[in-house]
Amino acid sequence: MGPGRVVTAIEPGRGHRLEMCVKNRYFIISVVNDGIAGAIMTLDARARSEPKSTLQKMTIHDAWSRQYRSGENDAFYALAFDYIASVLGDPNSASVLDAGCGSGTKAFELVKRGYLVTALDFSDSILERARADAAALGFDGRVQFSQGDLTALALPTGGVQRCVCWGVLMHVPDIGRAVSELSRVLGPGGVLIVSEGNLRSVQAATLRWIKRALGRERAEVIPTEAGIEFWEETSTGRLMTRQADIPWLVREFRRHGLELVQRRAGQFSEIYVILPWRPLRRLVHLLNNLWFRFPRLAGPAYGNLLVFRKP
């Protein structure tokens, strides 16, 4: 068996998993409850840290901008941040932490609603772009950018009262460490809003099934207790994207002292990123906006918004 190969995929939540790191190699053994299927894989410890260097380069950030920056998406984010502002409460002199800010689009949504923002990311290149955009928008006095790693935050324990972490944990291999750090820096009464992709959504389950049936999965697929990790080889290095096991994530934050206050739908689907036809993409955006406003059910939706509070 070669390194990093999954023998048989399993559905997380239905089995057990053992992960060992011996001499800089991870050995992961997963067994489902009924014993019908199992997965054994090894992954080089260096490969697990590679996404960090991939995210230092602009290539992947530019690709995300092409996929996610559109008039329709901006309209959705405006809707989502009206909701987020209603959860965060009135702006005051304490800044909101945007943990994993990327190009700063979510930080700018907060600034537009009157908040002061501290926007943090570990990628210098994207921070440089975000700083330039903030200056061009005249927001530079309202948002401060800072370089930092979610798995080792250089912030005092309990020093943050409000935090937004949108689409970030899905790219952090050591998600347990990031959950622990976010929980540590949040002070009593503090609020954390997390946006992640839901493993059990209609989109995720259908696309996994189609790709498996057609043998079209290009990524290395690794089931873990936190969700399903997709390790892709991009032109500038490896990138990991996780479809989250939301109940696991909620339990993990609870283990670190945070209570779930609300779980609601974000975007029902992000399938617009691969649809070639504009009218079809518009239809998906229409569904996303309607789903966000009315049923709001998180279970079938791909985007999930989780609101946590520290008692």
Ligand X SMILES: C[S@@+](CC[C@H](N)C(=O)[O-])C[C@H]1O[C@@H](n2cnc3c(N)ncnc32)[C@H](O)[C@@H]1O
Closest CA to 73 of 202, 142, 167, 136: 167
Euclidean distance between the first and the last CA atom of the chain, given in angstroms as a whole number = 48
Of the pair 10, 109, the CB lying nearest ligand X is at: 109
Quote the CA–CA distance of 268 and 37 in Å, as a whole number.
31
Under the binding rule (CB under 6 A), the answer on residue 150 touching ligand X is yes
When asked if residue 149 is in the footprint of ligand X (CB under 6 A), the reply is yes
Residues 65-84, interacting with ligand X (CB under 6 A): none
DSSP class of residue 56? Answer: H
Helix/strand/coil (H/E/C) assignment for every residue in 129-168 = HHHHHHHHHCCCCCEEEEECECCECCCCCCCEEEEEEECC
Cβ nearer to ligand X, comparing 14 with 256: 256
Nearest residue (beta carbon) to ligand X: 102
Least Å distance, CB 152 to ligand X, is 8
Query: Binders of ligand X among 6-65, rule CB under 6 A?
Result: 55, 64
Among positions 111, 126, 182, 204, the unique one binding ligand X when judged by CB under 6 A: 126
For ligand X, the closer of residues 14 and 177 by Cβ is 177
Task: Dump strand ranges (E) for 198-226.
Answer: 220-224
| Measured distance CA(305)–CA(262) in Å, rounded | 8
Under the criterion CB under 6 A, does residue 168 sit at the interface with ligand X? yes
Q: Interface with ligand X by CB under 6 A: which range of 11-19, 21-29, 164-172, 198-206?
A: 164-172
What sign has the CA pseudo-torsion 173, 178, 252, 99?
negative
Please give the residues from 82 up to 121 whose contact with ligand X meets the rule CB under 6 A: 100-103, 105-106, 121
The CA dihedral of 140, 142, 148, 150, to the nearest 10 degrees, is -140
- Cβ neighbours for 282, distance < 8 A, ≥ 6 positions apart: 72
Q: Which of 134, 155, 163, 172 binds ligand X (CB under 6 A)?
A: 172
- Residue 106 or 281: the one with the smaller Cβ distance to ligand X is 106
Quick check: 167 binds ligand X (CB under 6 A)? yes
Positions touching ligand X (CB under 6 A) are: 55, 64, 100-103, 105-106, 121-123, 126, 149-151, 166-168, 171-172
